[in-house]
Amino acid sequence: MDWLLWRRRLEYLVFRTIVCVFQMLSASRGRDFAEGLAFVFHRLLPRKLTRYRVASDNLRQALGPEVTQAQIDETIRRMWVHLFRVVVEIAQIPRKVRSDNVLSIVTYDDGRQACWQAFNSGRPVILMGGHFGNWEVANTMFGLFGLPMGVVARDLDNPYLHEWFTRFRQHTGHVMISKDGASNDALKLLSRRGHVGLLGDQDAGPRGVFVDFFGKPASTFKSIALLALETRAVIVVGGAIRLPDEWHRADHNGSAWSRFRLCSEDVIDPLTVESQDPVGEITRRYTSAIERMVRSAPEQYFWVHKRWKSQPQQRRAAHGQRKAA
């Protein structure tokens, strides 16, 4: 017991040291660090450790048979660069992103008006996205805009790390909702016309709703659609997409912090969904919206996740019969 406590304290000490280093990095140095660490992960470490095959298979499914292995390899390299930039940005957000400088960090797409209409409708809103772009920037921005939410996230095993991420996500007014039992807590908040933010692009296991994601059935959480239908909550699907670095070099000599485009890909009103299967239809719509965002910048998606891990029941049964034969 004492060893577990000290191990967690050591993990937290190492983590806080890394965070302090990241917070001291300039914008250009942070980008250089991400490039260097991506080189290590992509070129030097064993590919089994970095889930290269999982990412490669996922990209081939998503981008189609015409994509070359060289294109897949470059997308995976750029994915690692992006992910390490996200890590650096998370450490820097509390110091770099403030209410007085948000317009220098984010711009908006054409879906802005529909998004704000949803938040000003007097109804609860489920703001959802995927592991795409910088999802923590999106959460932070809505807090700074005066739209606090219940943010759904998994509890971390290390209580010291869990406390740090809780403070990080709550520093702009949000409250944390544990992924364990999230449906009940989210239901209570939405019933009071509160808002909930979550990511909806992970495998939901054999009991999920199977809808197409890049042309292949993927198990998807049905609880999101059920919550929207029960509480009359509007679903806003969006994210914070990283903008090209040419903006930094042209105007700020590489010294400016990262810049993002806040996109609102779809707004789904469950009261207007006309379908014999409203849960399935809502799930298909928000999954399609996430897919469209990912297609716009595939290098900004978390391809190492086994998105198609679960299989529909009929497919699993056929697989079992072939294996028995």
The per-residue pLDDT for range 122-150, each reduced to its tens digit, is 999 999 999 999 999 999 999 999 999 99
Tell whether the model's pLDDT for residue 14 goes beyond 50. yes
Mean predicted lDDT score pLDDT of the chain: 92
* pLDDT above 70 coverage of the chain, percent: 93
For the stretch 175-219, pLDDT in tens is: 999 998 888 999 999 999 999 999 999 999 998 999 999 999 999
Task: Report pLDDT for 110.
Answer: 87
Confidence of residue 250 (pLDDT cuts 50, 70, 90): very low
Task: Report pLDDT for 105.
Answer: 94
103-112, 141-150, 303-312, 315-324: least confidently modelled range: 315-324
Task: Report pLDDT for 312.
Answer: 87
Q: What angle do CA 222, 228, 229 make, to 5 degrees?
A: 90
Task: Report pLDDT for 325.
Answer: 46
| Strand ranges inside 112-259, DSSP E | 125-129, 150-153, 175-178, 195-199, 209-213, 216-220, 234-242
CA distance 110 to 129: 17
Q: Chain centroid to CA 8: how far?
A: 26
Q: Specify whether the CB–CB gap between 61 and 75 falls below 8 A.
A: no
Instruction: Specify the higher pLDDT residue, 91 or 1.
Output: 91
**Can you read off the two tokens belonging to residue 62?**
């998503």
CA atoms within 13 Å, Cβ hemisphere of 61? 19
Mean pLDDT, rounded, for 235-246: 93
Task: Report pLDDT for 71.
Answer: 97
Task: Report pLDDT for 308.
Answer: 96
Q: Name the amino acid, one letter, at 27.
A: A
Burial of 164 (0-12, 13-18, 19+ CB in 10 A): middle
Task: Report pLDDT for 322.
Answer: 52
Q: Specify whether the CB–CB gap between 45 and 66 falls below 8 A.
A: no
